Amino acid sequence: MNDTLVNREPVGTAVPFSAGTVPPSTHLPNAACDCHVHVYADRFPVALGARLTPPDASASDYKLLQRRIGTTRTVLVTPSTYGTDNRCMLEGLHAMGTEARGVAVISGSESTSELRRLDELGVRGIRINLSLGTSTTVDMLVPLAHRIADLGWHLQPMPDDARQVERLVDWTGDAATLERVLVDNPQVLYGFHITS
């Protein structure tokens, strides 16, 4: 066997907003889902007081990363950059196709017809955009929870991403559990079609 082939690093492709070019050594299970992705486009207005204003990051950029890391499903979440303006996320959702779902940010005053419209576009969860200085109480969430129950949606709290990543390996520990976390749970929670 030729030693130069045995010792050579695999050749990969550079992907925007991601270091490295080599795919992971672990192959993810079929239908693995990344449940928290943001897209950005400077043609959409930034919310008043937004602190995070990253450069454009499109669904096409993310599709390149999917090919490298092995995910096939995605949940796009409206970033704080846009407040309750979900247009950028919805545009990305459309571009990602049937293997994508969305989490919208709302004020809580949206009409039932607006919530249904978001559902038809692929939204399966919401975050509530509260004013600074307020906190979420059960009394605030109960009426909204009743309105979204018929849509099969869930309320999503702000995650501590670093803590989630640090614990993922500890929590999974084996291939069956990893598949439940990356495939089975998102499949049920976001209404993806069932894989065989």
127: domain range?
A: 26-190
Domain assignment present for 162: yes
The number of distinct structural domains making up the chain is: 1
Decide if 15 is inside a domain. no
pLDDT confidence band for 151 (50 / 70 / 90):
confident
Q: How much is the pTM? A: 0.77
For residue 79, is it within any domain?
A: yes
- 5 is a domain residue: no
pLDDT band at 163 (very low <50, low <70, confident <90, very high): very low
Distance from C-alpha of 38 to C-alpha of 190, rounded to nearest angstrom: 16
Please answer whether residues 97 and 76 qualify as being in contact, where contact means their C-beta atoms are separated by less than 8 angstroms. no
Residue 164 domain flag: yes
pLDDT at 122: 97
| pLDDT at res. 94 | 98
Give the span between the Cα atoms of 116 and 119, in whole angstroms: 5
Helices (H), 70-196: 87-96, 112-120, 138-149, 161-172, 175-179, 185-190
Q: How confident is the model at residue 168 (pLDDT cuts 50, 70, 90)?
A: low
Mean pLDDT of 52-59: 94
- What is the C-alpha to C-alpha distance for residues 86 and 96, in angstroms, rounded to an integer? 15
Q: For residue 196, is it within any domain? A: no
Q: What is the pLDDT of residues 62-96, one digit of tens each?
A: 999 899 888 899 999 999 999 999 999 999 999 99
Categorize the per-residue pLDDT at 1 as very low, low, confident or very high, splitting at 50, 70 and 90.
very low
Q: Are 127 and 158 in contact (CB under 8 A)?
A: yes
Containing 82, the helix (H) or strand (E) segment is none
Whether residue 19 is contained in a domain is answered as: no
Domain with 79 in it: what CATH number?
Answer: 3.20.20.140
